[in-house]
């Protein structure tokens, strides 16, 4: 597990490079061994602690698949409304 662009980001592998510029973060990963990268990210313009709180309140302990499936169901529900 690597911590990088901000202290509250977690990824499943180390960054090969990173750049933080004016509130924007860019990271690169070596995907030669696996093209898929899993990252949990919290965003806050106030503080890193608020970013962690936002990530926890929005993601909790749910896995990626749970978040994806819930989002897809909510989206499809909204599309079905008139």
φ/ψ bin of 80: left (φ > 0), alpha (ψ from -120 to 50), beta (otherwise): alpha
How does pLDDT run across 35-81, given as a tens digit for each residue? 888 878 888 888 878 888 998 998 888 988 999 999 999 999 999 87
- Do 11 and 37 contact (CB within 8 A), yes or no? yes
The model's pLDDT over 16-46, given as tens digits with 9 standing for 90+, comes to: 666 666 667 777 888 888 888 887 888 888 8
Residue-averaged pLDDT of the chain: 78
Say what the pLDDT of residue 28 is.
Answer: 80
**Alpha-helical segments (H) within 1-82:** 48-59, 64-79
């Amino acid at each position: 597990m690597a911590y990088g662009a901000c202290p509250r980001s977690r990824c499943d592998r180390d960054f090969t490079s990173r750049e933080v510029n004016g509130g924007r973060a860019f990271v690169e990963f070596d995907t030669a061994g696996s093209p898929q990268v899993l990252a949990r990210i919290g965003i806050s313009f106030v503080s890193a602690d608020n970013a962690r709180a936002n990530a926890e309140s929005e993601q909790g302990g749910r896995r990626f698949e749970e978040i994806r499936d819930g989002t897809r169901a909510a989206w499809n529900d909204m599309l079905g409304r008139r």
